[in-house]
Structure 1
């Protein structure tokens, strides 16, 4: 009964923390246009690399596309899809810990850490997160398969493990390739321990078969052109020197965990033989070290945002606590250990949830300005620096909601909303059927609101970042289309501080061949503010 109760609490924790965004509203998220348009295209039956090109894999949009079918192509639907992904990743991590027979106290605190450090603040689907979710699901199925005795069930679990691992690879190349290598190594190590090679061969063969089928199908289109990194026109993302340099100069948590793991192993095992005969601990250690290594590589190959790789915390802490809890001193005090671990995790990661508590406290107990009788200035932590006021920046507190269905529950700067209203009320938008539009802005849901047909083809880029999501070949195509006056209407987002996030050369062509009739603020803040410009023939 106690075991069942803990199971309910763990699953409830994962679901509740993941579901909190369902009851919130959100400011427009920078760059989330990419998640929306890919999901929208796939929900309409388009196939990556056949109907649009992109420098990663289409599995990133699989779950959001399904949710678009179920709930409609609104921005808030992306949040619902991410809730599902967060639940999926939490359950996968829990399954991994159960496969390693981690005690309930350590398992619960590690799940709490995973939710707080990796899931809780991920409200929007993003490829650097989704690729890890698929990897965790694949590892969960693989570890269950390796422990399974029934042959038919084991084969099914191995096939599922291979499928989700390849989903990771076809989401993003760097972490996806590492997911494949880690999974193969885990299966190989288990076979070495047990002298049973059948599971590893089935798993490896299924990985190969799935990859071959997908690549052979997509090779008829522009798959090789778009998906290859380090081959022209792409630039290499992997540099061994960068990885080594980042590890020794930074990576403080990764190095700290390696140090603590070494100490814990010395305390737990007297000899190498004692360690090797503990097969579960060997496999758990190997996976933990592999995850730490993946995090060290991932922080270099996928450097934005800077917290992409923090999934390693949960694995490292779970292994360290599992080894400590196995020491004789912990055995008689299980309830105390449970309480201390839970409180410790909550204290350690208080920055995640304190911001939400602070908002409530600020409303309940607003800060009062202290009156100063003398002429002395008061300098403290809140006032010791003077920041220049940005007269262009629109504070988040002044953002508001629009009436457009695609942007329901998403608030944006009022000038952005006013600009969209003016755009939708233009005569050419209201009167012309089969409107031809080039939308080089992050307001991609306008495809539903106007509406207009999206261009498609294996040559057509989903993402307009020159040198990352498209290349000179595509820029030349757009320049030719503009010179030929192909488009009735063009939206171009000019962001001067970002290097060709939308190609400057395309804007130069627009200045020659089209007329700018309006402009308004893009829904951005900080150093990457931009203007959305409206052009007609």
Structure 2
């Protein structure tokens, strides 16, 4: 096979070009309103306005997730599309961190390039919007990349400097989401402990733990006493999401990819190692193995503790692919840096992960290969037609009028630029903006916005409520608890608010507290109702004003 005559700098350039190129694609697109993106927006908006977490608002997570979006709000303004720009940066950081990890572990350039392609296609490409279940992994990858670089440095101060940066990102991961961040710390500790045993640099272990602890203290101490109530470490009224029964059930019943990769990793090591005593002293190979097994274990647990959306844990594919491909090519003595290998490998990877991008080409193929579908139970005057499109009869839910995404429209409000929503939602927002209470009270408007339309705080505008006991979001049992619900009920009964926007989502377990809706009906006047910007549109937004 002809070998690619590329210098290391050229390989790195191609990787960076691939990472940045894929990450920039969302900047040229428009988007439907994203479910749950209201939470990303409000946390970033509050912090960008100078509010302090746990003093001005409370949440069961750390504030790591909102740091980058808040910074982008300060630079580009609080439009929803700014969140996409923030995610572009996070995707670039994730891709560069992953590539750095593989480079430190001396993965062959051809395999490294293919692994980066797997990473950006399988994991980054589908993440257009920032979400904490993704950001926690981004910070973890950044921390692990600095940690691995540091472990191979001979000079003590340089090594500890890299470990300091690694400890910062790893704590930021924990301060974004406790489950992923906690497992990231365990993986890091395993890597540091193994490296210390082999190199006999015993001081690295307490130094790393001390650095991590010091950074934690520096970031937590200024937050005040409210932190201990809001931050979920399994204490009442919070609920711990770590359930051993659920984890064992999920792993043993499903998790086919994770178990298959685990088997292949073990087989690859067994087949590729002739002397395990010598292999145990090969730091890069053992660290690569520990890291891959750690990532697979994390993915198995992460799918339980962070169950929505269901593909949160697919970051493991790229690590498993890189390890198995490296071991296989080494064992078979394949030229992984040849042009033929990289070209064929790229085509196969694109075929493997075609589901992530094919939907964007589906409209073209539908025109090239027209097909006929029917949802009829019986064809009048002919035979009953049964196909994959209608073999099941689905009775429509008449509770809500669904609006297909293809019929969604754009809002004229700048904060919703490039974001389309159901026509019912857009028209409803326009009516709310024209309400006399909104038009007459430009200053001092008291609003309770229990909907997914949080950007209206900047569009009206109105001042967000603050306080150490005020929740960032209103999911009862997750983002707020009975104590906060009681306070909202008191305020509604006292007619504290000029305007209340409440989202009724009957299929979701108190996504917005059902009990408050009853209190609203007794004390406020319902003046409007329209669809919430969800897919499918299975929730409505109700507008209440003072009687």
Bucket of the pairwise TM-score, normalised by the shorter protein: over 0.9
Which residue pairs with 1:452 in the alignment? 462
Compute the TM-score of the two structures, normalised by the length of structure 2: 0.94
Q: Distance in 2 between matches of 1:359 and 1:137?
A: 37
Which residue pairs with 2:417 in the alignment? 408
Q: Distance in 2 between matches of 1:75 and 1:212?
A: 33
Q: Distance in 1 between matches of 2:511 and 2:517?
A: 12
Q: Does 1:73 align with 2:78?
A: yes
Which residue pairs with 2:476 in the alignment? 466
Which piece of structure 1 moves more, 487-496 or 257-266? 257-266
Which piece of structure 1 moves more, 229-238 or 409-418? 229-238
Which residue pairs with 2:439 in the alignment? 430
Q: SS of the residue aligned with 2:357?
A: helix
Q: Distance in 2 between matches of 1:429 and 1:188?
A: 60
Q: Distance in 2 between matches of 1:491 and 1:330?
A: 63
Q: Does 1:200 align with 2:205?
A: yes
Which residue pairs with 2:387 in the alignment? 380
- The answer to whether the 8 A contact 1:229-1:237 is kept is no
- The answer to whether the 8 A contact 2:110-2:337 is kept is no
C-alpha change, 1:49 and 1:302, in structure 2 (3 Å) is same
Q: 2:216 aligns with which of 211, 235, 247?
A: 211
Which residue pairs with 1:536 in the alignment? 545
Q: Distance in 1 between matches of 2:333 and 2:162?
A: 38
C-alpha change, 1:369 and 1:215, in structure 2 (3 Å) is closer
C-alpha change, 1:384 and 1:46, in structure 2 (3 Å) is same
Tell me by how many angstroms 1:370 deviates: 9.6
Tell me by how many angstroms 1:3 deviates: 2.3
Q: Distance in 1 between matches of 2:277 and 2:348?
A: 34
Q: SS of the residue aligned with 1:515?
A: strand
Q: 2:46 aligns with which of 17, 41, 46?
A: 41
Which residue pairs with 1:348 in the alignment? 352
Tell me by how many angstroms 1:229 deviates: 3.3
Q: Does 1:230 align with 2:240?
A: no
Which residue pairs with 1:111 in the alignment? 116
- The answer to whether the 8 A contact 2:108-2:336 is kept is no
Cα deviation digits, residues 424-458 of structure 1 (max 9, x gap): 10111011121011111110000011111000111
Which residue pairs with 1:93 in the alignment? 98
Which residue pairs with 2:59 in the alignment? 54
Which residue pairs with 1:506 in the alignment? 516
Structure 1, unpaired ranges of 5+: none
Q: 2:453 aligns with which of 439, 443, 453?
A: 443
C-alpha change, 1:347 and 1:366, in structure 2 (3 Å) is closer
- The answer to whether the 8 A contact 2:373-2:389 is kept is no
Q: Distance in 1 between matches of 2:477 and 2:33?
A: 25
Structure 2, unpaired ranges of 5+: 1-5
Which residue pairs with 2:3 in the alignment? none
- The answer to whether the 8 A contact 2:59-2:230 is kept is yes
Q: SS of the residue aligned with 2:334?
A: helix
Cα deviation digits, residues 110-146 of structure 1 (max 9, x gap): 1100111110010100010000100000001111111
Q: 1:522 aligns with which of 511, 520, 532?
A: 532
Which residue pairs with 2:342 in the alignment? 338
Cα deviation digits, residues 245-277 of structure 1 (max 9, x gap): 211111111110111112211221123213213
- The answer to whether the 8 A contact 1:105-1:341 is kept is no
Q: SS of the residue aligned with 1:478?
A: helix
Root-mean-square deviation over aligned CA pairs: 1.9
Q: SS of the residue aligned with 2:186?
A: helix
Q: Distance in 2 between matches of 1:306 and 1:378?
A: 34
Q: 1:477 aligns with which of 478, 487, 505?
A: 487
Q: 1:19 aligns with which of 19, 24, 35?
A: 24
Cα deviation digits, residues 362-392 of structure 1 (max 9, x gap): 4x54736599999345433334344445561
C-alpha change, 1:339 and 1:513, in structure 2 (3 Å) is same
C-alpha change, 1:399 and 1:246, in structure 2 (3 Å) is same
Q: Distance in 2 between matches of 1:382 and 1:488?
A: 49
Tell me by how many angstroms 1:166 deviates: 0.6
How many residue pairs were aligned? Answer: 534
Which piece of structure 1 moves more, 154-163 or 381-390? 381-390
Q: How does 1:131-146 map to 2 (within 5 A)?
A: 131-146=136-151
Q: Does 1:318 align with 2:328?
A: no
Cα deviation digits, residues 472-501 of structure 1 (max 9, x gap): 000000001111111111111111111110
Q: 1:287 aligns with which of 279, 285, 291?
A: 291
- The answer to whether the 8 A contact 1:166-1:211 is kept is yes
